[in-house]
């Protein structure tokens, strides 16, 4: 009798864990390593994508300076994440609905939010949330992971209305440990809603390293529990990010349901400028390793080899962005200061007597 073939449990586990490779189109030097993931973008579109990424890096630098001058409030640095943010956003349409987290202001501005309003939002001014009617987006979510639940609801609404659009949202690796993350992808998966979910895995939830958050080998594989596709992408590679996002969007609006994309990226700065010191939990060697993978350097090398980019063009974008920021912050400065009485007036549609009395008290103080 032939001996029965056996397989040990570790072999089974290795097979499961190996099903989530990281997809990449460009290596860290800007060389094509996977032609299949190079998108069919025109030269003009490639230049526009690079322009947006350089714009985002300058916005990060100038916002940091403005914060330190006391001219901005809350700010979450974005340098290093230009590909995971702007290249993914480049694959969506104006009618797609963006539900950003607090680090996703660059995508929100590119989706149509005036820069001056983004600055007002940073200051905590209510006017920063008064969006243009044609802007398909919600204000940045501060509650970690809550945007995933909101995106699931918006996505189901798009499907029920038979809209050829998706809801798309971002969170960090820390957000993928939240209950809202699982509830959002599970609900969207159950109803095959039109959604694309992103995890921007920058390695740390504030100071907590990713391996202390979850035992999962990848974050992309968390999609399996919700019955939806999960894919891991080199988040420092703009071409791979664009291509995979575009495919995910097309897949979702075709009625196949949502997709979860894990972008392997890195934030060069602090978690926020509200007291975080990344030197306390990240080493210089780690920083250097990721700086060598910089998405701007990678994409710049690729475009220069094609004759589409040069130092003069980049400097032009930098100067234009600085001027845009200068004008926007001046516009934000013109906004009247907020009043306590205004906050009270917006609390209730029908004001109870106690609130009416407080409004009178504060209006009297404010008029002096």
Residue 347: CB atoms within 10 A of its CB come to 11
Quote the pLDDT of residue 8.
Answer: 67
Q: Distance (Å, rounded) from C-alpha 124 to C-alpha 368?
A: 24
Residues whose CB falls within 8 Å of the CB of residue 46, separated by 6 or more in sequence, listed in order? 303, 306, 308
Mean pLDDT of 262-284: 94
Taking the alpha carbons of 68, 70, 75, 81 in that order, is the dihedral positive or negative?
negative
Q: Distance (Å, rounded) from C-alpha 263 to C-alpha 259?
A: 13
Average per-residue pLDDT in the chain? 94
Quote the pLDDT of residue 209.
Answer: 94
Is 7's pLDDT higher than 80? no
Tokens of 7: 């397989």
367 band by pLDDT with thresholds 50, 70 and 90: confident
Q: Mind listing the pLDDT tens digit for each residue in 48-80?
A: 999 999 999 999 999 999 999 999 999 999 999
H helix or E strand, kind and range, residue 179 = helix 179-190
Quote the pLDDT of residue 275.
Answer: 86
| Phi and psi at residue 134, to the nearest 5° | -90, 5
- Domain spans, the chain: 18-337, 338-368
- Are the C-beta atoms of 171 and 143 separated by less than 8 Å? no
Quote the pLDDT of residue 13.
Answer: 60
Q: Mind listing the pLDDT tens digit for each residue in 160-214?
A: 999 999 999 999 999 999 999 999 999 999 999 999 999 999 999 999 999 999 9
- Are the C-beta atoms of 149 and 171 separated by less than 8 Å? no
Mean pLDDT of 316-321: 98
Residue 331: CB atoms within 10 A of its CB come to 15
Tokens of 26: 């460009």
Longest CA span, the chain? 100
Closest CA relative to residue 181, chosen from 211, 139, 226? 226
Quote the pLDDT of residue 5.
Answer: 63
Q: For domain 18-337, give the CATH superfamily.
A: Thiamin diphosphate (ThDP)-binding fold, Pyr/PP domains (3.40.50.970)
Quote the pLDDT of residue 278.
Answer: 94
Quote the pLDDT of residue 59.
Answer: 98
Is 43's pLDDT higher than 60? yes
Tokens of 227: 């019955």
Quote the pLDDT of residue 17.
Answer: 57
Among all residues, which ones are annotated catalytic? 267, 271, 281
The per-type count for the chain, helices as H runs and strands as E runs, is 14, 8
Q: Mind listing the pLDDT tens digit for each residue in 73-125?
A: 999 999 999 999 999 999 999 999 999 999 999 999 999 999 999 999 999 99
Q: Mind listing the pLDDT tens digit for each residue in 211-235?
A: 999 999 999 999 999 999 999 999 9
The reported pTM is 0.93
- Are the C-beta atoms of 169 and 148 separated by less than 8 Å? yes
Mean pLDDT of 142-171: 97
Residues whose CB falls within 8 Å of the CB of residue 188, separated by 6 or more in sequence, listed in order? 151, 152, 155, 156, 195, 197, 226, 228, 257, 258
Quote the pLDDT of residue 352.
Answer: 94
- Are the C-beta atoms of 130 and 139 separated by less than 8 Å? no
Closest CA relative to residue 173, chosen from 118, 216, 137, 132? 216
Of residues 346 and 189, which shows the higher confidence score? Answer: 189
3 band by pLDDT with thresholds 50, 70 and 90: low
């Amino acid at each position: 009798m032939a001996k029965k073939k056996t397989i040990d449990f570790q072999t089974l586990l290795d097979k499961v864990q190996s099903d989530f490779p990281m997809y990449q189109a460009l290596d860290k030097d800007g060389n094509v390593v996977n032609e299949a993931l190079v998108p069919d973008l025109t030269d003009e579109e490639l230049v526009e994508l690079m322009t947006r990424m350089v714009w985002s890096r300058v916005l990060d630098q100038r916002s940091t300076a403005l914060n330190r001058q006391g001219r901005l409030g809350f700010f979450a640095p974005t340098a290093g994440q230009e590909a995971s943010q702007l290249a993914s956003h480049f694959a969506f349409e104006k009618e797609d609905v963006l539900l950003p987290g607090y680090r996703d202001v660059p995508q929100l501005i590119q989706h149509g939010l005036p820069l001056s309003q983004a600055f007002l939002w940073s200051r905590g001014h209510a006017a920063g949330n008064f969006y243009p009617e044609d802007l398909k987006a919600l204000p940045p979510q501060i509650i970690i992971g809550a945007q995933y639940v909101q995106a699931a609801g918006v996505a189901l609404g798009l499907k029920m209305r038979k809209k050829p659009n998706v809801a798309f949202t971002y969170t960090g690796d820390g957000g993928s440990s939240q209950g809202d993350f699982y509830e959002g992808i599970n609900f969207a998966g159950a109803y095959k809603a039109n959604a694309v979910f992103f995890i921007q895995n920058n390695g740390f939830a504030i100071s907590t390293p990713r391996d202390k958050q979850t035992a999962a080998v990848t974050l992309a594989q968390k999609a399996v529990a919700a019955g939806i596709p999960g894919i891991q992408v080199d988040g420092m590679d703009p071409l791979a990010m664009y291509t995979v996002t575009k495919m995910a969007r097309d897949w979702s609006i075709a009625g196949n349901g949502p997709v979860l994309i894990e972008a392997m990226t890195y934030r060069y700065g602090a978690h926020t400028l509200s007291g975080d010191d990344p030197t306390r939990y990240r080493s210089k060697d780690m920083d250097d390793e990721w700086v060598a993978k910089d998405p701007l350097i990678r994409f710049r090398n690729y475009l220069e080899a094609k004759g589409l980019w040069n130092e003069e063009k980049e400097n032009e974008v930098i100067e234009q962005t600085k001027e845009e920021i200068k004008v926007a912050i001046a516009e934000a400065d013109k906004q009247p200061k907020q009043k306590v009485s205004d906050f009270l007036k917006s609390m209730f549609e029908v004001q109870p007597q106690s609130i009416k009395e407080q409004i009178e008290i504060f209006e009297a103080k404010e008029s002096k």
